Amino acid sequence: MELFDSHSHYNDEYFEDNREDVIKMVYDSGVTKTVCIGYNVEQSKKAIEIANAHNFIYATCGISPNDSEDFTEEKLKELEEIAKNEKVVAIGEIGLDYYWVKDNKELQKEYFIKQIDIANRLNKPITIHTRDASIDTIEILKSHPVKKGGIFHCCPLNQELIKEGLKLGFYISFSGVITFKNAKPEECIKLVPLDKLLIETDSPYLSPEPFRGRKNDPSKVRYVAMKIAEIQGISLEEVARLTYKNAMDVYEID
Ligand SMILES: [Zn+2]
């Protein structure tokens, strides 16, 4: 069985001391593909560097709403240049976060839109971070369509958001949050057609149960798949196969 972790951060400094060991351990555990996600220009460069050194790792480039120190025209230009690298499979993570940062909503929207424009110029999908900002996120996606579509990463367990996202053709990616004891993910997971479903770790964050609170790595994406298998009433192998294919499709990896 092979698994595809659609969203991880091998570039994070948490992996600084043992990155190569972790990458090998994860690959040997059966997670044979992952995308290393950028969240500012520096970390996007690092994601590309890691992807270039490993066949089975891909990268994204983006400035997240929580990295607003990179919200400048210069940084955007640099981002667009580095995103032309052939291992870069999407623009992201980009989006809106009104949970952590509330005082710059207009600026967040402006840079979300500017990065959608980059994705459209480079003909790549996007990966979206959205927190406490569902209505504005959907409104922007409607008024600024993304040619290649993309992914709601670590999708909030919000039925309206999922329905609207699916209507716009987006994939829905679930993280370890769906394994948390108080999560109640059943209805949300059942809303997502099996050909639009993705799994991710968002490691080193959001360790699934039974590892909650400890550092996460992509090998634990298996626990996210297990939860989905249980809720959908299909086998773990089937979840692995479907989510692997969906990730290959949305990121256009062949
Ligand atoms: Zn992330």
Contact (CB, 8 A) for 253 and 89? yes
Q: Using a cut of 0.75, tell me whether the model's pTM lies above it.
A: yes
Alpha-helix residue ranges (DSSP H) falling in 123-232 = 134-143, 159-167, 186-191, 221-232
What is residue 3's three-state secondary structure? strand
Residues with CB under 5 A from ligand 1 (ion): 202
pLDDT of residue 133: 97
- Round to whole Å and give the CA distance between 2 and 50: 21
Please tell me the distance between residue 194's alpha carbon and the centre of ligand 1 in angstroms.
22
pLDDT of residue 76: 98
pLDDT of residue 140: 98
pLDDT of residue 213: 87
Please tell me the distance between residue 199's alpha carbon and the centre of ligand 1 in angstroms.
12
Residue 100, pLDDT > 90, answer no
The closest of 170, 169, 157 to 128, measured between CA atoms, is: 170
- Out of 77-86, 126-135, 201-210, pick the least confident: 201-210
Please tell me the distance between residue 218's alpha carbon and the centre of ligand 1 in angstroms.
12
Return the structure tokens found at 232: 């959908």
Average pLDDT, the chain: 96
Please tell me the distance between residue 167's alpha carbon and the centre of ligand 1 in angstroms.
23
Please tell me the distance between residue 159's alpha carbon and the centre of ligand 1 in angstroms.
21
- Round to whole Å and give the CA distance between 167 and 7: 22
* φ, ψ for residue 11, nearest 5 deg: -75, -15
